[in-house]
Amino acid sequence: MKNMDVEHKLQKLIDKIVKSDKHVKNAVLAVSTGDGEFNWSSAAGMADPEENRIMTVDTPVFIASITKMFTATVVMLLFEKNKLKLDAPMSDYLPSSLINRIHVYNGKDYTDQVLVRHLLSHTSGIPDYYTKSPENGQSFFEILFPEPDRKWTVEDTVAFARDNLIPEFAPGGKASYADTNFQLLGFIIESVTGQSLHDVYKELIFEPLGMKHTYLYTRSKPIDPDIKKPAHFFFKNTDLTNIKAFESSWADGGIVSTVDDCLLFIKAFNTGTVFSNEDTRYLMRDWNKLQKGMYYGFGTMHFVPPELFFLLFSYPNITGHFGSIGSFLFYCEKLDLYIAGTMNQGKSASRPFRVVLKVINIIRKIEKENNRDSI
């Protein structure tokens, strides 16, 4: 791979992300090959436009739902330690005051039939507190804007789903993405360990992997005390960073990290070195279809581009996770390529996916040119 050519094209890509969209205030991108021969990262824009704070590659960012990969990894590490069972009902680990009648579907209470594996794979049928709206009411996300100073606890998010929303289906029937599942997994982790979730993250993942700039927002601090303040994130032109409700983002989306730390994690995750048993990683790849071309395992997304759109017939599969504010962390096995970054902008769900595909296309084109030159 001609590194200078790749770096030039990747830099043009990230510069364009910020310059071509007035709503994208900042962005960061990191690309690395599994063999370690190519490592590149760059940032663009302002981490905090009001303070004129420049975005850099070591600026911490809210990784949003990529947090689910960490939560699922912790659950599987506890599974390896025989601290919990995947096929145990969640009610074995959670108090009835939290989950009582959280899954009443077509008049039948399925709460005691929701298993830990159902939560991990979004096959529980429990509704998503974040995006689903109660009848004649607003979703959690819609409430954020008119009530920016309203505080929510993690328990409040579960209660919102339990008391106001209708389940999607009976447990195990199919898959439907729901942040509520991972909030419940956070409580399960605390139940079986007797520790706070942020301490478990630190003990089982952050410290062993040397992730010195990663922490759970409002609940812990990074290992490196000299870390910068996180970059701001937006929905269109609305700065969401200081909205109080986001303090309830937890096991579903509350981690702050850097692209370098994220790469440390996904490389350890993908190679299996984070686990003591190689089979654990493969258990997490029990894919369930969320929608055309998009599958979900245990806290992990799997995309098959040709299924999404026929013009993507030549694009390889990618595995990892997206976040609702433009964050992404993926591995492309065919190219042995890792991609991490964010645009800190939540207005377009498909934009991060398109960026990942553009990175893949840049790498593929350069490799093809190199192969022609070597003939």
Structure confidence by residue, pLDDT tens digits, 322-360? 999 999 999 999 999 999 999 999 998 889 999 999 999
> The dihedral of CA 321, 324, 326, 327: what is its sign?
negative
Please, are residues 299 and 184 in contact by the beta-carbon 8 Å criterion? no
Nearest CA-CA partner of 30 in 18, 49, 44, 45: 44
The C-alpha R_g of the chain, in whole angstroms, comes to 20
Residue 349 pLDDT: 84
CATH superfamily of 69-196: DD-peptidase/beta-lactamase superfamily (3.40.710.10)
Residue 366 pLDDT: 76
The stretch 5-9 carries a mean pLDDT of 91
Residue 369 pLDDT: 63
Judge whether residue 218 has pLDDT over 80: yes
Expressed in percent and rounded to 5, the helix, strand and coil fractions of the chain are 40, 15, 45
Place of tokens 């504010």: 325
Quick check: helix, strand or coil at residue 330?
Answer: strand
Question: 249 to each of 212, 216, 336, how far by Cα in Å?
Answer: 21, 9, 32
Residue 272 pLDDT: 83
Statement: 3-66+198-202+210-373 belongs to CATH 1.20.140.10? no
Residues 6+ apart with CB under 8 A from 257: 60, 61, 63, 211, 213, 214, 215, 265
Higher-confidence residue of 372 and 63: namely 63
Percent over 90 (pLDDT), the chain: 87
Residue 374 pLDDT: 47
8 CA to centre of own chain: 28
Residue 75 pLDDT: 98
Q: How confident is the prediction for the chain on average, in pLDDT?
A: 94
> Which residues face 105 on adjacent strands?
108
Kindly list the domain boundaries of the chain, sorted by start residue.
3-66+198-202+210-373, 69-196
Residues 6+ apart with CB under 8 A from 153: 248
The residue type of 366 is: I
Please, are residues 62 and 230 in contact by the beta-carbon 8 Å criterion? yes
Quick check: helix, strand or coil at residue 239?
Answer: strand
Domains 3-66+198-202+210-373 and 69-196 agree in fold? yes
Residue 375 pLDDT: 45
Confidence tier at 4 by pLDDT (50, 70, 90): confident
Q: Angle at Cα 14 formed by Cα 8 and Cα 19, nearest 5°?
A: 120
| DSSP state at residue 349 | S
Judge whether residue 241 has pLDDT over 80: yes
